């Protein structure tokens, strides 16, 4: 899978449609990692829509704690 490509954009699970990083997975990961967050595709469908990308919310969303 390429880091940047139309296929990635089509497969992207993030619902933040106006983000300029959609389909650019390497930029998306880097952006969120630098903020101690995870990309939207790590979350459940419902969790993704909250736009809370924090590690804490990820653990709660995935019922890890
Ligand atoms: S997860 Fe964040 S950086 Fe990635 S496409 Fe969605 S809003 Fe943009």
Query: Among all chains, which residue has been given the structure tokens 């390497």?
Result: 26
Give the global pTM: 0.91
15 — phi, psi (to 5°)? -95, 5
Ligand 1 pocket test, candidate residues 3, 9, 21, 58, most atoms within 8 A of CB: 21
Q: What is the pLDDT of residues 46-63, one digit of tens each?
A: 999 999 999 999 999 999
45 membership: H or E segment, kind and range: helix 45-48
Ligand 1: which of 3, 19, 24, 34 to mutate, most ligand atoms within 8 Å of CB? Answer: 19
Q: Which atom of ligand 1 is nearest to the CA of 27?
A: 3
Check if 14 has its Cβ closer than 6 Å to any atom of ligand 1. yes
For residue 41, what is the DSSP state?
G
In whole angstroms, give the CA distance from residue 34 to residue 53.
12
Average pLDDT, the chain: 94
Q: Distance of CA 23 to CAs 58, 60, 61, 63, Å?
A: 21, 26, 23, 27
- For 10-48, the pLDDT digits (tens) are 999 999 999 999 999 999 999 999 999 999 999 999 999
Examine the pLDDT at 2 and tell me if it is beyond 90: no
Domain coordinates of the chain in residue numbers? 6-13+24-61
């Amino acid at each position: 899978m390429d880091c940047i490509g139309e296929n990635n954009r089509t497969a992207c699970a993030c619902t933040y449609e106006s983000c300029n990083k959609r389909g650019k997975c390497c930029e998306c990961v880097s952006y969120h990692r630098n903020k101690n967050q995870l990309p939207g595709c790590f979350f459940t469908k419902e969790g993704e829509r909250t736009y809370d990308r924090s590690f804490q919310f990820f653990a709660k969303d995935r019922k890890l704690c």
